[in-house]
Amino acid sequence: MINKEEIKHIAKLSRIEINTKQEEKFSKDLDEILNYFNLLEKVNVSKIEPSFHPNEKFLKKELSFLRKDESFSFDEKLIEKIIKMTIEKKDRYVKVKTILK
């Protein structure tokens, strides 16, 4: 079982304050989690193929799912119309409020 000093250390690293009652609860909860991991480590998975990998297509180097980088043209009349309708603009750009600082 995880002792109270380890719980206090974990709480300090996590930058959370816990009281004595919470120390006992967290000690029990973390002990259950670690015991479950110990159980999972005992399972023999050597003959089991992975069923999914998030980057499976990258691993197989099948990059056909990415869109092609192609240039395309815009309707210049439509662009001019949109720019004329905007309140704030500079040259051919629409000015908007800053959202990231």
Report residue 40 as tokens: 């999972």
By the 10 Å C-beta count (0-12 exposed, 13-18 middle, 19+ buried), 7 is classed as buried
What's the pTM value of the predicted model, to 2 decimals?
A: 0.44
* Structural domain range at position 16: 4-41
In a domain? residue 13: yes
In a domain? residue 15: yes
Residue type, 66: L
Q: Domains in the chain: how many in total?
A: 1
pLDDT tens track of the chain, all 101 residues? 788 899 999 999 999 999 999 999 999 999 999 999 999 999 998 888 777 666 666 666 655 666 677 888 888 899 889 888 888 888 888 888 888 87
